């Protein structure tokens, strides 16, 4: 076995912009639209920079019916640049982007091999007329179930690289014995196993949400003559998501809150991240100030202020969301005297009493009734946090209106 180096990527999702605020400033709106294309460009740039033998693409690149002509034209141009560098492309397409759906007006260059969707195909990759690897793959079509057993080969030149856009179980892949499984269909990167054999979801080159902490890379794979596999993550993201907590008992007026925001933005700037940052602020304010902060007018004012601060930085720091922290602190006395506040407090106290009563009944109940009571207690005690928080936000908004009248 010779040394072999290839690049594994998937799930460009060029037709899907990034998560952002409803009415972003023009600079932020442009970033949300362009980031998927910039991240995909970084993938192909890495392939050329590292002079890889080939690129494997495990589907999820573009739904051209949503992206319009821009998506296919962009990919075709990137493929041509790889062809000029002598780099082949093996593409296991996902449903909706395979050969049957690809627009005829955008021909693919000769270095691109798209696997069929009706049977597994094995292709020999050659370097200077010598076969140095076998790439086996299958494109996806709607409702198709992909089984690892279909990728078993009677004989093939080693190493064998399998490419598919589907979920998979590690034990099923290991039984087939291929050296590397290039998997797609997940935004988050995940290694199922790695050693003399490896299987990996490379994730999307560009995160699109605050929960996508394991996205924003492609995978450079090295195979040694001894048969060992080493995976290296290469950064590709055109923007990163961060969630920052802003919590202080000293935030007793809006001016203090603005000062705290400015200091937090400056702290992010000092990290000197190489790409723009999209921030969700989780804010816990002082008692009595929360209802003012989450009023729509104050939200818009704060967002504009944060956009003015962050948009002037290089790279910029953009605020996407302002969300409330936990409401552990009591409301100010004038608000507590309002009828709506008293009603809310009574309802929360009644819920606590119901939970305490169920605890007592559980201790006294016959054994055959205990499971039902435990289930009921669990439902009462573990109400979804988001639902409770939304209810309190609505109450606080109503309180602010009642208080102003």
In order, the DSSP letters of 23-73 are S--HHHHHHHHHHHHHHHHHHHHHHHHTT-SEEEE-S----HHHHTTHHHH
For residue 152, CA distances in Å to 160, 167, 292 come to: 10, 17, 63
pLDDT at 384: 45
Q: In what order do the strands lie in the sheet with 229-235?
A: 112-114, 88-91, 54-57, 4-9, 217-223, 229-235
Range scoring the smallest mean pLDDT among 147-161, 272-286, 319-333 = 319-333
Percent of the chain topping pLDDT 70: 76
pLDDT digits (tens, 9 = 90+) for 86-102: 999 999 999 888 777 88
The average pLDDT across 205-214 equals 91
Structure tokens at 286: 């002082």
Residue 334 has pLDDT above 50, yes or no: no
Confidence of residue 39 (pLDDT cuts 50, 70, 90): very high
pLDDT at 84 over 50: yes
pLDDT at 211 over 70: yes
Give me the mean pLDDT over the 348-355 stretch: 62
Interatomic CA distance for residues 205 and 188, integer angstroms: 9
| Residue 82 burial (CB count, 10 A) | 21
pLDDT band at 398 (very low <50, low <70, confident <90, very high): low
166/398: higher pLDDT: 166
Helix (H) or strand (E) holding 345: helix 339-364
Q: Is the pLDDT of residue 403 over 50?
A: no
Per-residue CA distances from 243 to 21, 24, 212, 320 (Å): 15, 18, 11, 10
Helix (H) or strand (E) holding 126: strand 121-127
The confidence score (pLDDT) of residue 340 equals: 54
- Whether 286 shows a pLDDT value over 90: the answer reads no
Q: Tell me: the pLDDT tens digits for 219-251?
A: 999 998 877 899 999 999 999 999 998 876 666
What are 391's two structure tokens?
A: 């209810």
**In whole numbers, what is the pLDDT of the chain averaged over residues?**
83
Question: Residue 56: its pLDDT value, please?
Answer: 98
- For residue 350, the model assigns a pLDDT of 63
Q: Range with the lowest mean pLDDT among 23-37, 40-54, 193-207, 391-405? A: 391-405
């Amino acid at each position: 076995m010779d040394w072999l180096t290839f690049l594994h990527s998937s799930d460009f999702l060029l037709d899907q912009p990034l998560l952002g605020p409803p009415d972003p400033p023009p600079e932020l709106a442009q970033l949300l639209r362009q980031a998927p294309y910039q991240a995909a460009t970084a993938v192909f740039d890495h392939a050329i920079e590292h002079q890889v033998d080939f690129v494997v693409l495990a589907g999820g690149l573009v739904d051209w019916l949503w992206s319009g002509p821009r998506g296919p034209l962009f990919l075709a141009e990137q493929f041509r640049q790889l062809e000029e560098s002598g780099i082949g492309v093996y593409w296991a397409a996902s449903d909706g982007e395979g050969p049957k759906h690809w627009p005829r007006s955008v021909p693919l260059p000769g270095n691109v091999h798209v696997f069929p969707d009706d049977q597994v195909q094995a292709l020999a990759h050659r370097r200077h007329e010598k076969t140095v690897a076998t790439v086996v793959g299958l494109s996806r079509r709607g409702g198709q179930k992909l089984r690892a057993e279909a990728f078993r080969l009677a004989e093939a030149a080693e190493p064998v690289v399998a490419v598919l856009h589907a979920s998979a179980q590690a034990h099923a892949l290991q039984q087939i014995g291929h050296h590397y499984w290039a998997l797609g269909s997940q935004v988050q990167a995940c290694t199922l196993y790695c050693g003399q054999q490896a299987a990996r979801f490379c994730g999307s080159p560009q995160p699109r949400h605050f929960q996508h902490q394991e996205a924003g890379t492609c995978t450079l794979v090295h195979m040694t003559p001894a048969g060992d596999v080493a995976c290296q993550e290469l950064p590709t993201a055109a923007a990163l998501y961060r969630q920052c907590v802003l919590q202080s008992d000293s935030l007793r007026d809006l001016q203090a809150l603005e000062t705290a925001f400015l200091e937090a933005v400056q702290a992010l700037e000092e990290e000197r991240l190489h790409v723009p940052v999209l921030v969700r602020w989780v804010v816990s304010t002082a008692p009595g100030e929360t209802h003012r902060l989450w009023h729509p007018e104050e939200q818009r004012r704060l967002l504009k202020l944060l956009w003015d601060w962050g948009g002037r930085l290089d790279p910029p720091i953009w605020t996407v969301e302002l969300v409330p922290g936990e409401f552990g602190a009591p409301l100010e006395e004038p608000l507590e005297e309002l009828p709506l506040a008293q009603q809310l407090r009574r309802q929360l106290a009644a819920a606590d009493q119901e939970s305490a009563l169920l605890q007592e009944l559980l201790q006294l109940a016959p054994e055959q009734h205990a499971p039902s009571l435990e289930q009921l207690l669990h439902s009462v005690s573990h109400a979804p946090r988001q639902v409770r928080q939304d209810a309190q936000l609505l109450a606080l908004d109503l309180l602010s209106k009642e208080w102003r009248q």
